[in-house]
Amino acid sequence: MKVRKALITAAGRNQRTLPLQALIDRDGVEKPVLRIILDQVLEARIEEVCLVVCPGDEAAYGKAAGEQAGRLQFVPQAESLGYAHAVYCARDFVDGEPFLHLVGDHIYVSPDGGSSARPLIETAEAEACAVSAVQPTRETELAHYGAVGGQRVPGRADLYRIETVIEKPTPTEAERQLIVPGLRAGFYLCFFGMHVLTPAVMEILGEQLASGAAATLSGALAELARRQQYLALHTESRRYDLGVRYGLLTAQVALALAGRDRSDVLAQLLELVATRGLEASAS
């Protein structure tokens, strides 16, 4: 199994402009978010990248991609029919191959400075199956993520065989269906926002959409786990959602603290905090 393709969704109404925002990357160079994401994807040896966008956004995204624009294929989502539909729009691009999938409004930062996608791809190729990145997450945060349940793969502390997938479960649902042996009490494995998926996912999404039922990616992944081996890899990387309040600011700080200017940024942050503290004490 060889993963050559990546699919990035960026057609959401509240998502579409975020990949065009500029941040200072870890190398100290200002880049659009899209370019930062593309650099990580291509560092993981991806050869072709598809971007699902709102019609008319192609030119802006091509400009943001810079010298990497030639590697992009654009697929417009003509109607705003949701996330699962956006993924399905790229079925012709996938064309029966496994693919890396991530979203365009998140920044991913690896602790070793490399690509967060590379370990995921390497695991998927070695195991010849779909693999989703996950992180142990407190039950108080379950309302924000899809979560999985299953068993640890023998001999691996970071790999799990997925048996159940639930989108934004309640703590009660999680306690009943998503307990994973070995995790701390009150913690569950939640999606990190990065997956290597097999073409069976497109088939399942097509079945969901054709049936008239509400199609969801989590629902398709739950069905995938019933049809074939599907694994979860614990990642040490961090994700930063640009769409939340102060999301761009938080992502910028994270990139700066992981980059070459870390010492200077830390010094400036400490000076700012100290100054504000003195001002608060004096008032």
Find out whether 183 and 234 touch, Cβ atoms under 8 Å: no
Residue 62 has a pLDDT of: 95
Q: How far apart (Å, rounded) are the C-alpha atoms in residues 39 and 113?
A: 12
For the chain, the domain total comes to: 1
CATH of the domain at 29: 3.90.550.10
Cα separation of 135 and 225, whole Å?
18
Tokens representing residue 85 in the block = 């539909």
Distance CA 202, CA 83 (A): 13
Do β-strands 230-234 and 130-138 pair in parallel, antiparallel, or remain unpaired? Answer: parallel
The verdict on pTM exceeding 0.85 is yes
Q: Which residue has the tokens 């102060």?
A: 246
What SS3 state is found at 48?
A: strand
Residue 132 pairs in a beta bridge with 195, 232
Contacts with 83 (C-beta within 8 Å, 6 or more apart), sequence order: 9, 12, 216, 217
Q: What is the pLDDT of residue 242?
A: 95
For tokens 């306690």, what's the residue? 175
Cβ(201)–Cβ(191) under 8 Å?
A: no
DSSP 184: P
Q: Cβ neighbours of residue 122 under 8 Å, at least 6 residues apart?
A: none
- pLDDT of the chain along its 283 residues, tens only? 999 999 999 988 778 899 999 999 999 999 999 999 999 999 999 999 999 999 999 999 999 999 999 999 999 999 988 999 999 999 999 999 999 999 999 999 999 888 999 999 999 999 999 999 999 999 999 999 999 999 999 999 999 999 999 999 999 999 999 999 889 989 999 999 999 999 999 999 999 999 987 889 999 999 999 999 999 999 999 999 999 999 999 999 999 999 999 999 999 988 988 888 777 777 6
Cβ-contact 35, 64 below 8 angstroms: yes
CA torsion 268-20-246-279 (nearest 10°) is 30
Is the Cα torsion angle 12, 199, 39, 118 positive or negative in sign? Answer: positive
Res 246: pLDDT: 96
Nearest to 209 by CA among 86, 95, 100, 99: 86
Q: Are 7 and 86 in contact (CB under 8 A)?
A: no
62 exposed, middle or buried (CB, 10 Å; 0-12, 13-18, 19+)? middle
Domain region containing 225: 5-282
> Rounded to whole angstroms, how far apart are CA atoms 247 and 245?
5
